[in-house]
Amino acid sequence: MKAIKVLLVDDEKLVVDGLKIILETYEDITVVGTAHNGEEALKECRKSSPDVVLMDIRMPKSDGVMGTKLIKKEFKDIKILILTTFNDVQYIHEALKYGASGYILKDSDYDLIYEGIKACMKGNVVINPEVASKIISENVEYSQKSSIDKIKKSYDLSEKEISIIKEVANGFSNKEIGEKLYLTEGTIKNNISAILSKLELRDRTQLTIFAFKNNIVT
């Protein structure tokens, strides 16, 4: 089994050292490098080609938002998970906009961080529903929620497509959604592609934000 290559980015050495020690106890995780800000993270990505960047959102010189923007511009396939606190909502939305695969609260236990890394590698969005709700309520653009019926009509979405959007926003993989809705994994993948096209969205992260924004999932 190929190990997931992880880059750790945090300006606090104790945090980086602690994460490195814990994550390397998992057989399928390899920490390939560390950095202390977003600019250093980009340089390290060029050097060590990580699969996942686990990055703090608040750092001097170049924070996690800028780091996400820089890395995703050059390396579209690298997954980025943001380490954050409940009070960082103004930063979280920006990081997701630039292509982060989700975020994990800093006080999460290590198994949850590990599962988040695994989930984003599968293409899932890693989002804490409580924090997502706070993002929406504190951002004017994201606070104007519409009824599901209105959304269905506006974007020509079927009931099945609404159900799929809900499951994507809840963090389930195509396979898991297929099992829940009694559809094949390929059918789910095709449906998600069609949904993204209808909504003019780029990826599952944007679709998840859309779901919370429009009260499709809470």
Closest CA to 187 of 162, 153, 160: 160
Closest CA to 207 of 189, 72, 199, 154: 199
pTM to 2 decimal places: 0.69
d(CA 211, CA 217): 6
Given this model, what pLDDT does residue 33 score? Answer: 96
d(CA 203, CA 154): 20
Given this model, what pLDDT does residue 142 score? Answer: 44
Given this model, what pLDDT does residue 42 score? Answer: 96
CATH number for the domain running over 145-213: 1.10.10.10
Q: One digit per residue, pLDDT tens: the chain, 218 residues?
A: 689 999 999 999 999 999 999 999 999 999 999 999 999 999 999 999 999 999 999 998 899 999 999 999 999 999 999 988 766 777 887 888 888 998 888 888 889 899 999 999 988 888 876 676 666 565 544 444 457 888 888 899 999 999 999 999 888 899 999 999 999 999 999 999 999 999 998 888 888 888 887 878 75
Class of domain 4-137: alpha beta
Domain boundaries, the chain: 4-137, 145-213
Given this model, what pLDDT does residue 140 score? Answer: 42
